[in-house]
Amino acid sequence: MSKKSHKQAEFWQKAPIHITIVIISLIWTLPTVGLLISSLRRRDAMLQTGWWTIFQHPFELTQFHLGNYLEVVQSQGMGQSFFNSLTISIPATVIPIAIATFAAYAFAWMKFPGRQILFIIVVCLLVVPLQTTLIPILRVYRDLGLSNSFLGVWLAHTGYGLPLGIYLLRNYIGALPRDLIEAAEVDGASHLKIFTRLIVPLSMPAIASFAVFQFLWVWNDLLVALIYLGGTPDVAPVTIQLTNMVGSRGQDWHLLTAGAFITMTVPLMVFFGLQRYFVRGILAGSVKS
């Protein structure tokens, strides 16, 4: 069999897999396409017909407009809410990354009594619903004066994100070459120097993966921010601002479609900025122990 014939046979063997992947991708992106089209339609048209009806006259540009986007951008408090979301998301991502990396190194390479038991407890925390902790923590916050403050929501997001971060990073750091760590110890390097000079640079794929997860979760969060911050305009993130714009009965839901795409810009920049580390870190951190 010639080389060309071999490639053709290989192509047709893999064709069903490729077709299946394309179909799944189309189904997966269909809601996003519908959301995008809806964000460009007028309110009356959205109430009368579904977004798929635009394909009857796809080149009729009069059925599209940017009014929804302009109304969202120009709405009172939107700029402040974007600033509040950044104020919440950046520390609530950096703090758990720092703590989880230190803890993961300790669980992976430092020997101390109860290490395995503590790690099992951390893993068990992954299955605890955060909703069960909202009221107890809120009562503690009120006693300590942390309610309606950014510090309170930073601590809350840190606590909710640490179990996943420690689990992911511990598995990755524990899979690093033992000879490398032992060579550094023989040279007299302390745990702090090993951590800063070896562990952190080598663990960047896993750290970046956790950073993406944590930032996306915090940026898109509504429940935790609403409970601990209270939703006042001076501290409300963009999710609460969009909820207020839609109305208590959802009468202005056409604005939500445009607002969703506007709020997606920052998470997308974070994801694409760390994309090269993402898949590597997730695979290594989830299948190795």
The structure's pTM equals 0.80
With CA atoms as reference, report the closest residue to 259 among 275, 233, 237: 237
pLDDT score, position 251: 65
pLDDT score, position 287: 45
How far is 234 from 195, CA to CA, in rounded Å? 39
- Stretch 247-269: mean pLDDT, rounded? 77
Tell me the pLDDT band of 250, cut-offs 50, 70 and 90: low
With 80 as the cut, is the pLDDT of residue 44 above it?
Answer: no
DSSP string, 198-251: IIHHHTHHHHHHHHHHHHHHHHT--HHHHHHHTT-TTT--HHHHHHHHH-TT-T
Q: Where are the beta strands (DSSP E) in the chain?
A: none
What pLDDT, in 10s, does the model give residues 181-230? Answer: 888 888 888 888 888 888 888 888 889 888 988 999 999 998 999 999 88
For 250-283, give the secondary structure using H, E and C.
CCCHHHHHHHHHHHCHHHHHHHHHCHHHHHHHHH
pLDDT score, position 285: 45
- Stretch 57-61: mean pLDDT, rounded? 69
Q: Which of the listed ranges 13-17, 54-58, 63-67, 99-103 does the model predict with the highest average pLDDT?
A: 99-103
Structure tokens at 275: 């994309």
Give the lowest-confidence range in 72-76, 110-114, 136-140, 210-214.
72-76
pLDDT cut 90: percent of the chain above it: 21
Tell me the pLDDT band of 9, cut-offs 50, 70 and 90: low
pLDDT score, position 100: 94
What value, to the nearest 5°, has the Cα angle with vertex 142 and ends 153 and 83? Answer: 30
More confident residue, 49 or 85: 85
| Residue 170 · residue 260 · CB < 8 Å | no
Tell me the pLDDT band of 4, cut-offs 50, 70 and 90: low
pLDDT score, position 39: 81
On average, the pLDDT of the chain sits at 83
| Residue 55 · residue 181 · CB < 8 Å | no
Residue environment code for 168-184, b if the CB has 16+ CB neighbours within 10 A, otherwise e: bbbbbbbbbeeeebeeb
CA distances, 175 to each of 126, 181, 248, 266 (Å): 21, 11, 50, 32
| Residue 158 · residue 95 · CB < 8 Å | yes
Q: Which of the listed ranges 64-68, 95-99, 148-152 does the model predict with the highest average pLDDT?
A: 95-99
Residue 81, Cβ neighbours under 10 Å: how many? 23
What pLDDT, in 10s, does the model give residues 232-246? Answer: 888 889 888 888 877
pLDDT score, position 166: 93
How far is 88 from 206, CA to CA, in rounded Å? 22
Q: Tell me, what amino acid is at 143? A: D
How far is 279 from 285, CA to CA, in rounded Å? 10
With 70 as the cut, is the pLDDT of residue 159 above it?
Answer: yes
pLDDT score, position 71: 81
pLDDT score, position 266: 85
pLDDT score, position 288: 46
What value, to the nearest 5°, has the Cα angle with vertex 51 and ends 45 and 52? Answer: 130
With CA atoms as reference, report the closest residue to 147 among 73, 90, 228: 228
With 90 as the cut, is the pLDDT of residue 91 above it?
Answer: yes
